Amino acid sequence: MPALVALVRPANLIAMLLAVGAGAKLAGGDPFVPVALVPVLAAAFGYARNDAVDAAADALNRPGRAIPAERVSVATAHALAWAALAAAWALLEVTDPSLPRVILLVVASVALYFYSPWGKGLGPLGASTISLLAGLAVIWGATMGPHPERAALASLLATLATFSRECAKDLEDEPGDRRVGKTTWPIRAGRGTVVRAVRVASWAAFAVVPTPWIFGSASPVYVVAAGLTACPLLAWAATRPLRDAPSAAHASRALKAALVAGIGSFWLGA
């Protein structure tokens, strides 16, 4: 059971739930409703499927994960992934299967299915897919309130920070991906191109941080909290030399922390 739980990245799922809740709070809705769990279950599908498909590369890049460590089989991971997706659709059916939410879940399901194994070989499109899904989590929450437009800038911020992190993860995984014959963005275009993408996306996210307060969708509490937490992490990731896999791993963790800090700031200052 611990290995199965680890397979779906519980910490990431909690962050996903908080992102949905932040979108709901910004839109003036209730973040504590069952339909908020639908994108969390969809994300669990994506994580379990990704680990099942990427088992060979993870044996080199992340040998401590459940499948390379032989604590979970590939078949079990696939079964868990599809069970999570089925649960997402079942929960949507019994809560609020409105057309916008059905469309969002269809987009997420298809994107997550094709991301592993094909999306990672599509250059910037692969990182863009995951980053857009992160933004859609905020939009999902925004559909739970009467003013969804107030969450638009938060969705943009989540998208930019996630794009930068996905690029850093590609840089981190390059040695193992190269050895198993994958053609990810750093392998196809060179590390320099992807390093520049990390920097541009991080600085863009940095610039977007104050805009929810400037345009009136978040209070001064938000901008102070984000300025003290997310902004330094974004700036650090944007200026760090990403010469090898360990330095890229540090940047990836910093960007993840920046994303969580931004989400927490929205909860404080929505």
What mean pLDDT comes out for the span 54-79? 85
pLDDT of residue 256: 95
What are the Cα distances from residue 179, in Å, to 66, 70, 174?
Answer: 21, 20, 9
pLDDT of residue 2: 85
Compute the CA torsion angle 111, 113, 116, 118 (nearest 10 deg): -70
Of 14, 27, 36, 151, nearest in space to 91 by CA: 36
Distance of CA 115 to the CA centre of its chain: 13
Yes or no: say if 12 and 137 are a contact pair by the CB < 8 Å rule. no
Lowest-confidence segment of 152-161, 184-193, 226-235 by average pLDDT: 184-193
Of 132, 87, 142, nearest in space to 112 by CA: 132
| 267: confidence class by pLDDT, cuts 50, 70, 90 | very high
Whether pLDDT at 75 is above 80: yes
pLDDT of residue 261: 96
Q: Give tens-digit pLDDT for 152-184.
A: 999 999 999 999 999 999 999 888 888 878 888
pLDDT of residue 56: 78
| 59: confidence class by pLDDT, cuts 50, 70, 90 | confident
pLDDT of residue 57: 77
| 197: confidence class by pLDDT, cuts 50, 70, 90 | very high
What are the Cα distances from residue 190, in Å, to 5, 68, 126, 245?
Answer: 35, 27, 16, 14
Lowest-confidence segment of 53-57, 72-76, 84-88, 143-147 by average pLDDT: 53-57
**Encoding tokens for residue 63?**
């040998």
Half-sphere exposure at residue 269, Cβ-oriented, CA atoms within 13 angstroms: 25
pLDDT of residue 177: 82
pLDDT of residue 29: 94
Whether pLDDT at 119 is above 80: no
Whether pLDDT at 216 is above 80: yes
Residue-by-residue DSSP string for 99-156: HHHHHHHHHHHHHHHHHTTTGGGSTHHHHHHHHHHHHHHHHHHHTTSS-GGGGHHHHH
| 203: confidence class by pLDDT, cuts 50, 70, 90 | very high
**Encoding tokens for residue 58?**
């993870």
pLDDT of residue 234: 97
Instruction: Tell me the whole-structure pTM to 2 decimals.
Output: 0.92
CATH code for the domain defined by 2-269: 1.10.600
Q: Give tens-digit pLDDT for 232-262.
A: 999 999 999 998 999 999 999 999 999 999 9
Give the mean pLDDT of the chain.
93
- What's the residue count for the chain? 270
Please state the domain extents for the chain. Answer: 2-269
pLDDT of residue 213: 96
Distance of CA 131 to the CA centre of its chain: 6
